[in-house]
Amino acid sequence: MNKRCLKTIALLLLLTMAAFVMCGCEKAPEAPIKLSFKAASGYDYLKSINGKTVTISGYMATSSPVDGSFMFLMNLPYQSCPFCVPNTSQLSNTMEVYPKDGDTFGYTTQAIKVVGTLVVAEREDEPFTDRYGYQFNYKIVDATYTIIQAEELSADMALWQELASTDVISDIYAMFDYVHFLCAWNTYYVNSYTDDDGNIVPGYYLYASDAMNFLTMDGAQYNYGYQEGYFDGIVRKIEAVDPSAFKDLVDNIRKAEALAKKALAELENGNYTYELQYIEMFDNKDYVYTLNIGEELQQQMQTIYDEFANWLGSWEM
């Protein structure tokens, strides 16, 4: 073999080795970060993994858009609508998932595993807003999903699905709507409207008498919570599924019940003040009420609601 051939072979070997080294230096793709509904309630944590590939398991809400342009993902089976923090449009225990460009999601009632890219709002007080008006601090984009087989579910999920099938979680969200109203009725308002003669009737923040009507009149918006034995009925539905497995949830409901009684007593005993003010939103002067311990009531409400949300988010597949 001549020198020229030896040089050629040596050069080819060097090139092959260089290519092997270069290939060996390439990083393997990172495994998706396992996201949970409970962890997703923490904005700071979400910001720390913004832009990362994540995976999470859950169920499609039946109210997910029929065109498949995105889905509402929940850790609850059998739920039709996304849940919101009381008296807001802020999604709670529900996340929005978007497919890759040009793709759509087909609907399924089965448990699914989602993989996609996490996108977090720049600021916690400047959330995203979807076409329905729902607000949320994060979303999963460029996503795909696979159906989870029954044998892959944990043993506890059977009990969890039995509870979810009773619609008691929806009942609890309605309960929190009722408790929130009691704690912050002075922040609720009747919007401006146009009467039959075409005149604009200015809106106004609720008076104390309005709040009592919302609670006590048959068929009124929050009359359901004012009924005798309301909280006991929710507890009975939970304990009918299992008398002991959901003790933490029952304890949370009893805390909400105690807060509701406290807030109702404040309203009934007239523990509030009112002042004539100009209300920019309605371009009108009217009386605006302030609850004597309004901040305390709302803080307690938030603490109890957060406890429930953390309990709810802890059920993971």
pLDDT in tens, 16-51: 555 544 454 555 667 999 998 888 878 899 999 999
Q: Tell whether 269 is covered by a domain.
A: yes
Q: Is residue 212 part of a domain?
A: yes
Instruction: Over range 197-210, report the average pLDDT.
Output: 93
- Look at residue 177 in the predicted model and tell me its pLDDT: 95
**117 and 169: one domain?**
no
Per-residue pLDDT, 21 = 47
- The torsion region of residue 216 among left (phi > 0), alpha (psi -120 to 50) and beta comes to alpha
Q: Are 87 and 173 in contact (CB under 8 A)?
A: no
Cα→Cα distances 206→80, 187, 209, Å: 31, 7, 8
Q: What's the pTM value of the predicted model, to 2 decimals?
A: 0.74
In one-letter notation, the amino acid at residue 11 is: L
Number of domains in the chain: 2
Contacts of 162 (CB under 8 A, 6+ apart): 241
Whether residues 146 and 203 fall in one domain: no
What does the alpha-carbon distance between residue 68 and residue 29 come to, in Å, rounded to a whole number?
A: 28
CATH number at residue 124: 2.40.50.870
92 and 169 together in one domain: no
Q: Which of 108, 124, 152 is the last residue of a domain?
A: 152
d(CA 171, CA 177): 10
Query: Is 16 part of any domain?
Result: no
Q: Which of 103, 119, 152 is a domain's end point?
A: 152
Instruction: Give the mean model confidence (pLDDT) for residues 121-137.
Output: 90
In this prediction, residue 89 carries a pLDDT of 61
Domain hosting 201: range is 156-313
* Predicted pLDDT of residue 9: 47
How high is the pLDDT of residue 154?
65
**CA dist., res. 171 & res. 261, Å (int):** 18
Asked whether residue 208 falls in the same domain as residue 68, the answer is: no
Last residue of a domain, one of 105, 134, 152: 152
Q: How confident is the model at residue 212 (pLDDT cuts 50, 70, 90)?
A: very high
- Are 136 and 226 members of one domain? no
Which residue from 71, 154, 139 is spatially nearest to 105, judged by alpha carbons? 71
Segment 226-256, tens digit of pLDDT? 999 999 999 999 999 999 999 999 999 999 9
For residues 226 and 296, state if they share a domain.
yes
